[in-house]
Structure 1
């Protein structure tokens, strides 16, 4: 007899996949603020996917770990950035490029300027 009941592991995997997809869609909005991206992912899981809050924290953490392990992710090197330029690094190749802060979103400019003081 076939059962249509979702097994707990399948549910966890599907919700983790949903969290990872959310992270991929929104990571560009939070280049300098991974904590805010994490919080948004948790909110998405709880409010849109109806995942219990305790589970959403763990799933968001696992999804962020998966995202960080993906090749070719662009990250901000705060140590190499200065008051006028941000250093963006391709995590897969190690290539870096300096981008004028004025070309980045305002919230990222403020975040980088605060760390360079």
Structure 2
């Protein structure tokens, strides 16, 4: 293996670590993307000994990938009902059944909900 291949493997591995961190912690920072990104950078720097400049680059790339992952998930109207929403990820083959009451309780009616507004306004 040459040095360039090792560098690419290392960067891919660290980008995957950043992506995993973003996925695990994104719900904690729904209204504050900069805090999530800074936390991820610090995770790479402190836990995985990545230099800060490389961590910034890898976290940016991981964030783009996270956006691609989020945009491939779709609402499945055929299997959803008035009380349950079904979300599918066709790439991974996953399917989630989420009660509407849980969406209301955890997202819409959450005390820290500052981003979502009523459609009636």
TM-score, normalised relative to structure 1: 0.61
Measured in 1, the distance between the counterparts of 2:48 and 2:67 equals: 23
Measured in 2, the distance between the counterparts of 1:39 and 1:11 equals: 21
Measured in 2, the distance between the counterparts of 1:44 and 1:18 equals: 9
TM-score, normalised relative to structure 2: 0.59
Is 1:62 aligned to residue 68 of structure 2? no
| Displacement after TM superposition at 1:33 (Å) | 1.2
Measured in 2, the distance between the counterparts of 1:19 and 1:42 equals: 8
List runs of 5+ in structure 2 lacking aligned partners.
75-86, 90-99, 117-121
Q: How many pairs are equivalent?
A: 86
| Displacement after TM superposition at 1:102 (Å) | 7.2
List runs of 5+ in structure 1 lacking aligned partners.
74-89
Q: 2:51 maps to which residue?
A: 52
Q: 2:20 maps to which residue?
A: 21
